[in-house]
Every structure is written in C-alpha cells, then in structure tokens.
Amino acid sequence: MKHNFFGAIVALGLLVAASPAFALDLHEARSQGIVGEKADGYVAALKKTPEADALVSEVNQKRQDEYARISKENNQPVDVVAKIAAEKIINGLNTGESYQDSSGNWKTHK
C-alpha cells in the first residue's frame, strides 16, 4: 500500500505541473513572487490582488480535492497526504520561488 500512496503523491505533482492553463498560471504566479508554496501543501497569495486570491482559491480547492482522493484510496489522513505533497512540490520549485518552511517562515528557493 505504501508504494501506491507515494505513487499517488508523485502523480499529484505531475498533475499539477502538467495541466496546461492551470499550471502555467500557477507557474507564472510563483515565478513572479505573487504566490508561494506553504508547508501544508497549499499555496498562499504573497501579493494581495483579486487575481492572486482567485488563483489561490482555485489551486487550493483542486489540491484539497486531490488530497482527499489520495487519502481515501490509501487510508491516510488528508494532512499527511498534503504535507508529503508539499515537500515534493517545494523540492521541485525553481530558483527564486517562495515557500514556507516548517516553522512558518517564508524563504526563497535556491
């Protein structure tokens, strides 16, 4: 079961990265410092604008739905799924993109 669980997390990362319009918007927002990746597996607006808030809401809803699906399939708590996904997403960030460490501090990926 662990293999399926981690495979699902990897698939989630690929889903988020490969979805054309959705990922492009997220990628651009991260690269421009508009949004950052939180340690809990969700994104946060770093620059408050209606567009940033809408993107954050859309991304977080899609992630929440996917985390719930993976959680149910693998009998794991949703927060565990989200934190594992966060680690994988943060490790894959480009140089200069923002993320939140486990202490809640915002940092720039190097």
- Owning domain of residue 20: 2-108
- List the beta strands (DSSP E) in the chain: 35-37, 43-45, 98-100, 106-108
In this prediction, residue 22 carries a pLDDT of 44
On whether the CB atoms of residues 12 and 85 are closer than 8 A, the answer is: yes
Q: How far is the C-alpha of 106 from the C-alpha of 61, rounded, in Å?
A: 22
In this prediction, residue 40 carries a pLDDT of 97
Going edge to edge, which strands form the sheet with 98-100?
Answer: 43-45, 35-37, 98-100, 106-108
Non-local CB neighbours of 6 within 8 Å, separated by 6+ positions: 84
With pLDDT > 70 as the criterion, what percentage of the chain qualifies?
A: 78
Give the pTM: 0.79
Domains identified in the chain, total number: 1
pLDDT per residue as tens digits for the range 86-97? 999 999 999 999
